[in-house]
Structure formats: structure tokens, C-alpha cells
A and B are shown apart, each in its own frame.
Chain A
């Protein structure tokens, strides 16, 4: 991401420090994560200590400092999905992809995360891949789910 692209995002929020979260979220939409250089640039441009930016970037779940894969799989571990076996779906995906929740596959194809409550509780267990919701999952259906994206 170029510095002028970051400049334009900062300008859209009138350079306000209180809008730091929104600025970082917008950078992340473009970059799929928050590169260190981008954060250093924001710190310098907005005259905000890098410590504060790092604090915000690590506090909020929505922000990620690690590069994400092409496809993001969010497995819902909300209470309703948990009660319906959401953990097993996550574990099946961990086995299939060879990574743990929070990690990205070596070929950068998939990032696996757990989220709490997407609000589709009647369809539990649920996983969202690239914004598309897959409900009424079972361990067996996981294979065909991944096929769709491979």
C-alpha cells in the first residue's frame, strides 16, 4: 500500500486520533492485514506514538498483524453453535488444513479463525468463508466445503 493511499484514508477521517480504529480497519480492508510499515507510517503521519497504535492493533479482534490467507474461514463458537458441536467442526478443519485456529496455511490459501456468534444460531453449527455462510454443518460436510474453495 502506498503512502499516498494511506494519506487519503487519513484525510477521509479528517486526521482525527479518535478515528484511529476506523483508519486501521480501512487499511486492513485493502491489505488484508496491518503491515508493520503501514503502522509506522500512520504513527509518523498522525503524530501518534507507535505504542498506542500497536496497543489498538492488538486489543481489537478485528485487526490482524499477521498476513491472512486468500480465503478466511470463521467458525462460529457462539454458545448455540458450541452446544451443537461447533468445536468439532473447528477441530476437523484444523486437521484438514494442518493448522490451528488463528493460523494461516503455508500456501497462504486459508486462514482459520474462531468467532463468537455470527447470529445465525438456528443454523448451528455455522462457518463463514469469505462472507458466505455455511449452516447446518457436520464433520462430514467439512470436506465438501473446502472443496468449493480449493
Chain B
């Protein structure tokens, strides 16, 4: 990935706060134009449901009818389940959001809006104003004409998914076009930078971050202010600040949303941090699997350079700072700090011993401060609102908010941001809307492959760093995977071990062989060859893998196994002693059987069976049929017959 340098047109350069205010004015015009503005959510979640087609259709239609409408893009508003989402903003009217928009629906929306009509069918919610949390401002839309047809539409704050959320990191996502730096500035962006560079000393900034209680959002939860302080203390003319955007936990995409929807928030945080620590160069290490995030960052960095917010003498402060983007190569282990640095140095992502901290000797052996995307993103708000305000949010030892991706067997999937201390029950049931299809909650997995499963008995656990660790899981980067009765916990543990043994760099015997053998044993158990001694053996292996390995990939690898054994031991025993999988997931332990009484002899199952394992005779107008039967020996348990049968005639044992 090549970096594109800005052309640095002098006219756009921001020299001081006055210039910043001028750009803010331009940005406000872009955010709130005199004409109707339609914004389509074009983050990856939107694009994957066809938002690009919606956008193109809108442009075409608006152009064709020569309507005075602007069509633009924005980031993810968080309720990914309902994508594609778009909003319509007309001066003097509430801002209306629509969900699950298709190109056809978009055309209708446009036609009706032109006639000042609201399409009720796929209304999502309305807004009467928006919060600018960085500035402690409520921007009112000054509604003059309320619209017919909006009665009954909930306002944003009334939607259960959004009600308990507090958006700090996601403050701009869905509200700005990330390609327009002016819009970021209009909502208060880069003003915190101005305050930091022009009104504060580096030590004061560090004190503020310390007092805020901000802890690393990448997983470990290390106090950010202390990290900055120890890096600042190290003598050296060359230091680095790094952003870990190698979000690798499967099911976690919080950082991706921030980078796609609000990349400047990370850039601003890094400049402030660099100034506080004394670094003049920064790296953002982005996962290879995030091409849109990389693209948005490239645009944002280039714009920041053109406006003089990156480069020499930023805002006339005399401080210089540059950011380089680095694209990962598809390796989960590169999310580990020393492996990340090795990767930037052009090596393979093998971690190294940390007897000497990276804040003293990191990238190219220079003092380096690495923080996660969400951590950097919080910094400008802490500077502008102050540590006292920030530290009032959250719990005693976990301040602020956390972004979680709530996915899996839950009704409302998407990204949420909540104050620390909210309970898991509130997240799963009130925000998440509970379990679909009337199924029963079983567990929620937090912390990705480094975390663990939390059972129903602990649902009232307040979510914060320490409480999650106490119960055998961890906060991790924020992935929250909800599981129901149809999820097999042995299968979940096997799944994570498969991931880890593949992603391990392979250096340490304990990690490489440990994860491999744990996966092997879990496979034996899931295929009906489990033995009672396997459980203590897994526990022993787990202990050694964690204690004897160099880095935290190995160090946390056993968590999924140990936490599922801890809370779901009976399930393991059922697999081992009775060769049964209660959740009906482990294929080798399943039997597919056609119920002869229910079978309508339509023959569909036999048609789709890839193993030719189903025999019978189709019932036709002329002939009596013979109920279909599955040959257990031939059956490969793919489940196609079960999926295909429209009469519920196939049961799984």
C-alpha cells in the first residue's frame, strides 16, 4: 500500500484557531445545507447489504428529476442489523432515518419526500437534534414544520437499541461524511488539538489523561496515562506513537467502524499523544482485511496534511508530526504489540520478550507508545471536556464507555457504546432485544479468542475490565457473541482452539503444541472419542500454555476452554460419557431421521442429499409413495435434508 502525500495547498492550511473556526463555518454549511440532504450509511455493514446500489440509485433519480437534493455518504450508525440505513435532513424538519432500504424503496422515498410525504413503512426513528459530546452542546434542528405521518415514530433516544447508549467513541459515526474534514471540524474536531498544543504543556496533558482513568481499549486495559508518562520519561530524540488497528478478534469490528466513519478522531488523538510524549512520527497498523478503513484513513491523512494539521508547525505551535499507514498481512498475532512492531520493521510478526518495555525500547528499539484505535479516539474528548467529566462515567476502576459489537444469537445485532458498569443482562435483553425465535440464552462470549464464556447465572455482572477477568473472561477488544441453547460449548472451545493453533506464530513449544493438542482433544470429544481424563488433561494443558508461553496469544489461549469447562462441565461430560451433544451441533454425535408418519413423500430431501443416502418413493397422482428413509451409514450429516424439508418431517437426535 503506497502512501499518497498531500499536495499542501497553502490556501487551505490552518494556522491558528481563527482559521479553524473559518473551516468550522464551511463544515456547518456542509452538515446542514439549505437543501435536503440524504446520507446513506456506506460503512462495510451498509455496503455488504447493498448500500452502494441504494446510493447510486439515489444519485441517478435525484439527477433525473433535477431535485434540489444532496446525496452523500456517512459511516455506521450502529444498528447493523437494519442496514442499509439512510437519513433525510431538511432544514426545519426532524431528521428521519429509514432502515433496510433497497434501491426501489429509495426511489419511492425520494418521490414522496419531494411531495413532503413521509413513507411510514420502513421508518426507523427520528431526531430533533444531535449531541456534540466533544463540546457539551446540543445542536437543535429548530423544527418549524412537523411532518404528517411521523406520529408513532420513536425518536432516537426512545429506540431500545439506542436508549442506554452513550456515544463518545462513536460520536461522529453516521453523522458526518468521513471524507470531509470540514464536517469533522464543524462538530468540534481538532479544537481539542488546538487546546492541547496552544494552551497546555505535555505534562498537563498526561496528567489529564491519567486523571480521566482511561484504560487501554484494545484488551489489556492498561492505564493509558501511565503508559504515556513512562514513554515521556525515557530520554530520546526519536520516539514513536503507534495505533493498533489490527482488530483481529472474530466478531469484533468496533475499530473498523471508527476508522471508516470517523478516521480523524484517531488522527487527532495521536497528534495530541505524540505532543505529550515527544514523538514526531506515528504509525497506524491496519489489518489487511479492512480495505475500506485503509482507504478512508488515506483520504483523512491526506486531508489533514493539506490543512496543515499534520506536518510541520501544526497550528503554529512549532510541533511537527507525521503519520504513516501500514497495511497488515493477515496475521492475528500482529495485534500483539511487539509482533506489530516487528511487522512494521519488515519482519514476521513474532513477539519478543518484554523484560524491557516497548515504551523504553520498541519500534526500531526507540521508545514507542502503542494504543488501540478506540483509546486514541477517546483522547480529544477527554481534553476538551476534561478528566473530571470523563471520570464520572463508568465504574470505580473502569472509567468511560466501551464500544461492543453485539452479534450472534440476538435480535438486535450491531455496534453499541455503553458506560462501563452496565450489566450484561441490560446489554443482551434491553439493547440486544433478547434471543430470537424464542430460544433460551446460554452464554455470552467476550474478549474473542482470549476471552471466555459467561453463563446465565452471571448475567447481572457489571461490565468492566476487572469483573470480566474475575469470572474467567476478559473485556478484550469488545466483541460480544451471544449464544443460545443451540450452541454447543464444546464446539465453541474447539472453534477457538482451531483459530489459535492456526494464528500462533509457532515459536513457543508451549503455545504451538499446546493449542494444537487442546484442539486435538476437543475434536476427539466432539467426535465421540472423549475420555474422562480429557477434562483434567485440558485443564493441565491450558495452565501450561498460559504460563509457559511468551506472549498473550498463548497467555490467554486457554481461556475459552477453561471458561467453558468451568461453567458448562456437564456439557463436556455429556459428550464424553454419553456420546451426546445436547445442542445438536457436533455432527458425529447426531442422527438424522425421517419421521415416517410425517413424511409427505415429496422427495425433495432425496434430491438434495449429496451422499445419495435417502431412498423412498415419491407420492404422485398415480402412485402411492413410500416414506423416505435415511441410510445412517451413508449419511454425512450435512443437514441439507433438514433445511430443505418443508414439513418438519426430519428430526435430529
A13 engages B2 (CB within 8 Å): yes
Closest-by-CB residue of B relative to A22 is B1
Interface of A is mostly: helix
**Partner-binding segment picked from A35-43, A65-73, A104-112, A113-121:** A113-121
Among A25, A117, A133, the one with the most B-chain Cβ atoms within 10 Å of its Cβ is A117
Q: A122's contact among B289, B407, B479, by CB below 8 Å, is which?
A: B407
Contact with A along B483-500 (1 / 0, CB 8 A): 100010000100110010
B596 touches A (CB below 8 Å): no
Q: A61's contact among B331, B346, B640, by CB below 8 Å, is which?
A: B331
A80 engages B251 (CB within 8 Å): yes
Q: B250's contact among A20, A78, A92, by CB below 8 Å, is which?
A: A78
The minimal Cβ–Cβ distance linking B312 to chain A, given in whole angstroms, is 21
A25 engages B45 (CB within 8 Å): no
In the complex, which residues of chain A have a beta carbon less than 8 angstroms from the beta carbon of B48? 118, 120, 123, 126, 133, 135
B345 touches A (CB below 8 Å): yes
Contact with B along A3-47 (1 / 0, CB 8 A): 000000000110011111110011000000000000000000000
Q: B448's contact among A12, A18, A55, A79, by CB below 8 Å, is which?
A: A79
Q: A62-B288, A80-B481, A82-B495 are in contact. Are A121 and B644 (CB under 8 A)?
A: no
A140 touches B (CB below 8 Å): yes
Closest-by-CB residue of A relative to B344 is A18
How many interface residues does B have (CB within 8 Å)?
A: 58
Closest-by-CB residue of A relative to B345 is A18
How many interface residues does A have (CB within 8 Å)?
A: 45
A83 engages B329 (CB within 8 Å): no
Q: B329's contact among A60, A79, A80, A91, by CB below 8 Å, is which?
A: A60
B45 engages A122 (CB within 8 Å): yes
A80 engages B346 (CB within 8 Å): no
In the assembled complex, the Cα of A12 lies from the Cα of B3 at a distance in Å of: 10
A117 engages B249 (CB within 8 Å): yes
The minimal Cβ–Cβ distance linking B93 to chain A, given in whole angstroms, is 29
Query: Which B residues, 260 to 300, have Cβ-Cβ distances below 8 Å to chain A?
Result: 288-290
Give 14 A-B contacts (CB < 8 Å), ordered by A residue: A55-B348, A61-B330, A62-B328, A78-B250, A84-B408, A91-B638, A92-B638, A92-B640, A116-B248, A118-B48, A119-B256, A121-B251, A122-B81, A133-B48
8 tightest A-B CB contacts, nearest first? A60-B329, A61-B330, A78-B250, A119-B253, A18-B346, A121-B407, A133-B48, A62-B330
Question: Which residues from chain A sit less than 8 Å from chain B, CB to CB?
Answer: 12-13, 16-22, 25-26, 55-56, 59-63, 77-80, 82-84, 88, 91-92, 95, 115-124, 126, 133, 135, 138-140
For the complex with contacts A80-B413, A91-B638, A126-B48, 18 further pairs of A-B residues with Cβ separation under 8 Å are: A17-B346, A60-B288, A60-B330, A60-B348, A60-B349, A79-B408, A79-B496, A80-B251, A92-B638, A116-B332, A117-B248, A117-B250, A119-B290, A120-B45, A121-B251, A123-B45, A123-B48, A138-B643
